[in-house]
Chains A and B, each alone.
Chain A
């Protein structure tokens, strides 16, 4: 039942809006609204009950194991939320003078310094509001760098075929042509293909390391050399930073610009799909191009650096300074972890992934890159199972929902057929992983004994499989009264 279907004309909440109506006589009639908008007329209790019930129809980290590969669904500590929601932080206007927000700005400045150290970069800006916007900013800076050097011929960005879809989409948004290069059998970028692809048109290479295949790009130093010698820059998609945090710094791998998904590695909430936050780090040569604003410390006072001081900046990416509240949560998280805790993230994320990979292999699942170490995630391919039984990766994913587990990422990366990308994250216990393996074993047995039941999963959810084709063909995007 929709919230609109609980509504009755004239029902309202009296305590949450002004007690009386106020005069708007001085606004000309032709600028006024004639028909009231379709907002529900419901009581406070109707609202609370309705949205509480809706929340209960979600799987979440707080309620289920959520091994969604590439998304780093780790526990979001409650303290990060509680402290970021102290009323002074919430009520601060973005245009309030800097001297009224020194406490807040201190947190932002320290976060910049910590991220700088963790990534090995020369500068950090907190401005981008999501991973994809961090990518946009990074690629814009690559473009600005070449143009500032009078080089307008660099029109291509190289992207491996295993990359996130946002990488090629971002390159195009920045006006570049995308050159895709293949992956070899071991899951590394094909080095010869890279060598053949670079040249005077190369603006840069976008790379995730560990890659989306869940393996560390072993030739990274050589790749860095090849791209730099061709005059291009190296972009690090920090989606998988969780796997190497404290172990290796992107700056030491030769990257010129990186983004960090705080909602992944730094445990800020995924919130049903946002808000994200993606600070970017840059090597020294890109410092002049960083998007504004960012915080500096001068004579014991924190203040914003603006575009007047950075004439070569790529400019503003948001109306204010990015997702401040998300940044505060990440700051609280890094202070709770500290140096020693930070080091352990990659260790236990990697331990969990390799353990789960080993256990799933033992019960009969095929690992896509069996000779490699898993980073913080790994890929199972269901190709043989599908050929033999007709059961697909998506069928298995839906059956996992029946057993109380969120499904892994399915059908990404695109180059592995019938794949499940599995990322357990460091916050899950061995006992949870063991229970998941048991569920996966049960499904394997079910595939053997009753494949049709698996194909028509889910069976225990409030709804059965939903019709995506009907959704796209007969678009119903808004409720209409009487419909």
Chain B
């Protein structure tokens, strides 16, 4: 009986106290015709030794690859202390801090996280996190519509992560919110003001602005933010948190700054782990604080005037407001945020800046070497952060297959989401890649093309 401590004697005493003949008698309120517990598809239980063997075998079956894929999830060095502390039982096995006096550890950590994220994004306030970057964008769109008096239309450029656009559409379309996509400029890889002119007379609730965008390219965020504000629309930044160590934060874009900043928190100490769990971050201007979804932590005092932390502004949330809540969201991604907070503390402003700058420099070096190969070219002219797109002179799928045989995941085939971008790879080299790794990739790449 795994994880059940009861002895035969315990069971007998407990049944006697209850006044029941057997454990089965405790289920006498379930109608007999509904009962049926055959679990034929569930295999017999394994011991810890046996499951260890199985999971190690499957892990070695998958093995290790040297990955140059980014496209929304990025490999960064994670200091050893991050997950050693995060998986302490007191963080790992506690729950939402409803009882503040018994949860000051989690609450204070979340307050520190909110402080770090608000500063990184240049915003006034941050919530305690969302499920992931994609759902954070969907929630930002809902927030924009709630705060806008007349429009239910959100403009999302095609340079925003394609799956984020799908997730946002799936979630907000239930509420009769329209998502309109803005085409990108094929030469620069950016969304241009000229493309927005088509919407000059429309009533718009918000414009979404990615930085960097899905192609890794840096957008003209100041002009785009000012355009949104000139239309009385909100500007929603979708940003990479590592990049924010170098780049102008959304709160400083344009004349008055973007209104909401969201993004994928994974680069901040969260392993790639096949896509999750990650966490989404969301920060905003003070004026939108009552529209923000999810948990928020506030600092207050106890009866003796000692400072402490509590969940606050709960009147927005489903457990109080039920059908009138700002969102149905219940949890945040507490454990992921614990890791991210420790990661940001260990790196500090200079450490994170170096991670960002090295990722940029490594990708620049990789692109320079790749485009020296005849027929390989960088397709977007604009500056990039730590990934960008290259065109191959022959099949991208073939090249990727050959690289894979040599233990390299060579990049993301953009045709997956952009049918017109044929034989174009999105490649990324973060700070984890050495010069030798980059040279090895380039040499394997050259062979894969021949």
Contact = CB atoms under 8 A, between A and B. Distances in A.
A197 interface: no
Interface in A318-332: 318-326, 332
B374 interface: no
B161 A319 contact: yes
Given A12-B351, A321-B275, A272 B383 contact: no
B31 interface: yes
A68 B61 CA distance: 40
Interface string B326-362: 0111111111101001101111111111110110111
B241 to A, nearest CB: 10
Interface stretch (B48-56, B179-187, B202-210): B48-56
A75 B92 CA distance: 11
A103 B57 contact: yes
A270 B43 CA distance: 26
B17 A355 contact: yes
B30 A117 contact: no
Nearest to A414: B322
B196 interface: no
Contact of A31 (B102, B248, B342): B248
B90 A336 contact: no
A401 B101 contact: yes
Given A76-B92, A168-B322, A169-B328, A116 B41 contact: yes
B409 interface: yes
A83 interface: yes
A196 interface: no
A42 to B, nearest CB: 6
Contacts of B129: 274
Contacts of B51: 79, 83, 332, 335-336
A383 interface: no
A40 interface: yes
A351 B11 contact: yes
Interface residues of A, number: 197
Interface in B150-166: 161, 163-164, 166
A97 B404 CA distance: 9
Contacts of A409: 98
Q: How many residues of B sit at the interface, in one of the four size bands? A: 35 or more
Contact of B163 (A63, A218, A316, A427): A316
B320 A318 contact: no
B259 interface: no
A44 B275 contact: no
Contact of A56 (B62, B77, B90, B347): B90
A464 B101 CA distance: 7
Contacts of B77: 16
B112 A18 contact: no
A324 B273 contact: yes
A42 B274 CA distance: 32
Contacts of A50: 345
Interface stretch (A225-233, A443-451, A474-482): A474-482
Contact of A173 (B132, B175, B361): B175
A22 B1 contact: no
B312 A323 contact: no
Contacts of B14: 351-352, 354-355, 430
B412 interface: yes
B119 A426 contact: no
Given A44-B346, A339-B42, A21 B354 contact: yes
8 closest A-B pairs by beta carbon, nearest first, are A338-B45, A320-B275, A62-B89, A271-B335, A103-B58, A94-B275, A17-B351, A117-B41
7 contacts: A22-B358, A74-B3, A96-B65, A216-B29, A320-B132, A332-B55, A350-B23
